[in-house]
Amino acid sequence: MAEYVIYETVAVLQINNPPLNVLSHHVRRQLMSGLQQALQDTAVRSIVIMGKGQIFTAGADVKEFGTEKALSDPSLPTLVEAVAASNKPVVTAFHGTTLGGGVALALASHYRLAASSVKIGLPEVEIGIVPTCGVSQRLPRLVGLQTAVQMIVSAQTMSAQQALTTGLLDKVVSGDLLSEAVGFAKSVEVQALADRRVGSRAVPGADTAEDVLDAARKRLVRRSRGAIAPLTCLQAIQASLLPFETGMKREAELGQYLWTSWQTGALRYAFLAERTVKRWYLPGNKTVNYRTAEPLVINSVGVLGAGTMGVGITICLLQAGLKVVLIEANKTQLDKAVTLIQRSLGGRSHSKQLSHQAMQLRATTDYRQLGEVDLVIEAVFEDLALKRKVFQQLDSVTKPQAILATNTSGLDIDKIASATQRPDKVIGTHFFSPANVMRLLENIYGRHTSPETIATAMQLGATIGKVGVLVGNCPGFVGNRMKGLNFTEAMFLLEEGAEPQDVDKVLEEFGFAMGPFRVSDLAGGDVHWRRRIQAGLTTEQGPPPNTPLLYRQGNRYCPLADMLCMQGRFGQKTGAGWYRYESGSRAALPDAVVHRLILKHRQDNGLQRRNISSQEIVERCLYPLINEGFRILEEGLAAGPQDIDVIFLLGFGWPRHTGGPMYYADKVVGLGILLRCLEKYRALHPRSAHWVPSSLLQTMATQGTSLTAWAAGSRL
Ligand SMILES: CCC/C=C/C(=O)SCCNC(=O)CCNC(=O)[C@H](O)C(C)(C)COP(=O)([O-])OP(=O)([O-])OC[C@H]1O[C@@H](n2cnc3c(N)ncnc32)[C@H](O)[C@@H]1OP(=O)([O-])[O-]
């Protein structure tokens, strides 16, 4: 609701809709009625709009979008325009965070005030909408095109000080916001309003406008990769150069265009899915869930292994204010890691000027220092025997109630847990590289993992600013199990006629930041090669004895990646992989050596080259992965499609504007079309088991059920 209080001649309207003061229908109704009351009351000479609680407002109510409530009177545009039309001065005073619709109210007001700690932002582009309600028209008039583009198109938040400098704020206050706002409102009661109305101003620096917009357009064309919201938002900003009323009409048209696009639905879904997965439960036993399981309190964490992952994990633990004991047997490696960690946390190594966070780190080669930690994250080399040995040691040196987590990217959690006397306290915490940057934490429970251990790992994820997704135990877990198929098919496409750069280009146009071959070169081809060797699919010298080159373990197999690794071409780190890299450069250059290797491979094995369309590349690379997602749901390894989608959005660079693989299949491709496509490729490639449609997909496609509707019904 919104509260209405009078302070002498000032009417204060306070939004009170905890926790985030979103501008839901009942809030808008009360704000509107408060505004009307203040306008009618002759004793009132000015109006303050502010928020109660933690923040001013998180903006429009995203959960109302698509429902009748979003349009019910007063809609947000109606409320905002009523504020703009007020003939008494309106002062908006914000604190905490002010997003979207909150900024719209502020821009329509005559004055803007904020607490010094405020963060101001326009996240609309991230949920695929234009910042309407006049934001795209008023903001450039107030702060200029350059700043408006930065705020609207890149959704960057602004500090109070920046907002003051750019002219978005009239004043930053450090005292009590309510009394400051009331005092300020009183001081402007006699001021004329005409030039305080942002809509009546001209955009400053209009002579350089085209240059600014052109530069932004070029940047966006390069970066948007199929997402339509950023360029549409830019068009709305451009309309601010027109007379205000014309610009408002254009803003509304562009807003409607985005609103009705499928991408907006996908982005809104992604926003909500990231929050839905926090409400975790065991797919096979819903009684074990975020409500019934209590996490342990974690104050100190041990990290075992100071390689790239160990360092990244340590940084995010320290950043969250936890104490960390970092263990590494190799002293040189340990020292190197400490320097990296201190540098990243802003402290200087070997000086007294270490940041407070860096001072919470104890780095040692001595395992016994783990005796007092509450939880250990093991990040040693990806080798089952090694990890089992390490867990045996951890079991003996840590206190009995400590949780033992493994940062494996696909090894069997139960096999690791069985090396200890406390399998109930063993869990997988799969971080993604770089661990201090990537927001995903794939948490994997084993057969014996206790609810308390799961709750603790999920809570730890939230503490360190990650989105934790809980999944069951299977080779590769959810992410790598699905992703592996994408690369498998990408390689088959090389056998049939494509070049690595063709496949990468199509998938980058689809929206991925990098295609599968560039990703492989970045990650290092040797990582998966070792895994294939361990799985018995290949050897360091080539195919295992008596194995056909193009078939392994009953399935079609492409040996091209193995051939590259046998030549020491591991990707960027060796200067060559699927591409070649000039010294010091990360630019992937097509390589004649790879071209000849593929050509020879085709010739040697009688593989016919044909032209492969972009559509086929998308279908071949993405549909088996999606089919595997259905299998994962069928096997009860993920609670719902949202969990899978969040893993791909946050861990694998899946383009957000498509919602994630499962949403894309359900809402963009259509389950019926997906099923027919899988069947078509199954007939063409009978030796690839991943084309066999999952029975869950078959049932849903045949019954015409929507995956998202099915999931919404089954979610806790
Ligand atoms: C200008 C023209 C038109 C206007 C357009 C707009 O304003 S568009 C809107 C522009 N605004 C945005 O895009 C808002 C973006 N929001 C954020 O960035 C963050 O929520 C935060 C920084 C405000 C708080 O972070 P935090 O980590 O403290 O909290 P958290 O993120 O975990 O969320 C807690 C709960 O609140 C829920 N919820 C949050 N916002 C909204 C909302 N607007 N609506 C409804 N619900 C919302 C969220 O789903 C979750 O619910 P659950 O799952 O528990 O049922």
Superfamily of domain 2-259: 2-enoyl-CoA Hydratase; Chain A, domain 1 (3.90.226.10)
How many helical (H) and strand (E) elements, i.e. helices and strands, does the chain have?
29, 21
Ligand 1 centre distance from Cα of residue 333 (Å):
42
Closest C-alpha to 193, from 202, 185, 182: 185
- Helix, strand, or coil here: 594? helix
Rg of the chain, C-alpha, whole Å:
28
Same fold across 2-259 and 614-714: no
Cβ-contact 478, 644 below 8 angstroms: yes
Name the H helices within 132-287: 135-143, 145-153, 160-166, 177-187, 209-224, 229-238, 244-259, 262-276
Cβ-contact 47, 38 below 8 angstroms: yes
Q: Half-sphere exposure of residue 63, counting CA atoms within 13 Å on the CB side?
A: 10
More confident residue, 345 or 398: 398
Residue nearest to atom 53 of ligand 1 (CA): 275
Cα–Cα distance measured from residue 469 to residue 123, given in angstroms and rounded to the nearest whole number? 24
The 10 Å Cβ neighbour count of residue 194 is 8
ipTM over 0.85: yes
Cα–Cα distance measured from residue 108 to residue 106, given in angstroms and rounded to the nearest whole number? 5
- Is the pLDDT at 370 greater than 70, yes or no? yes
Domain boundaries, the chain: 2-259, 286-471, 498-604, 614-714
Ligand 1 centre distance from Cα of residue 461 (Å):
19
User: Which CATH architecture does the domain made up of 498-604 adopt?
Assistant: Orthogonal Bundle (1.10)
Per-residue pLDDT band at 527 (split at 50, 70, 90):
confident
Least confident of 149-163, 348-362, 431-445, 449-463: 348-362
pLDDT tens digits along 612-641: 999 999 999 999 999 999 999 999 999 999
pLDDT at site 123: 97
Per-residue pLDDT band at 52 (split at 50, 70, 90):
very high
pLDDT at site 689: 94
pLDDT at site 709: 84
The 10 Å Cβ neighbour count of residue 352 is 6
Atom of ligand 1 nearest to the CA of 275: 53
Which residue is associated with the tokens 């010739």? 603
Q: What is the strand order of the sheet 375-378 is part of?
A: 361-364, 323-327, 300-304, 375-378, 403-406, 426-431, 440-445, 467-471
Q: Which of the listed residues 99, 198, 291 should we mutate to test ligand 1's pocket, taking the one with most ligand atoms within 8 A of CB?
A: 99
Ligand 1 centre distance from Cα of residue 349 (Å):
39
Residue nearest to atom 23 of ligand 1 (CA): 58
The torsion defined by the Cα of 545, 549, 550 and 555, in degrees rounded to 10, comes to 10
Ligand 1 centre distance from Cα of residue 472 (Å):
29
Cβ-contact 545, 592 below 8 angstroms: no
Cα 251 to its chain centre, rounded Å, is 28
pTM of the model: 0.93
Running DSSP on this structure, what letter comes out for residue 357?
A: T
Average pLDDT of the chain, as a whole number: 95
Ligand 1 centre distance from Cα of residue 638 (Å):
25
pLDDT tens digits along 237-289: 999 999 999 999 999 999 999 999 999 999 999 999 999 999 999 988 999 99
So what CATH class is 614-714? Answer: mainly alpha
Question: In the structure, which protein residues have their CB atom closer than 6 angstroms to any atom of ligand 1?
Answer: 20, 22, 58-63, 76, 97, 99-101, 104, 123-124, 127, 131-133, 135, 272, 275
What's the distance, Cα to Cα, between the start and end of the chain in Å? 28
Closest C-alpha to 160, from 81, 94, 92: 94
Residue nearest to atom 29 of ligand 1 (CA): 20
pLDDT tens digits along 92-120: 999 999 999 999 999 999 999 999 999 99
Ligand 1 centre distance from Cα of residue 139 (Å):
22
pLDDT at site 230: 97
- Is the pLDDT at 712 greater than 90, yes or no? no
**Which CATH number among 3.40.50.150, 3.90.1300.10, 3.30.420.40, 3.40.50.720 corresponds to the domain 286-471?**
3.40.50.720
Average pLDDT for residues 450-461, to the nearest whole number?
98
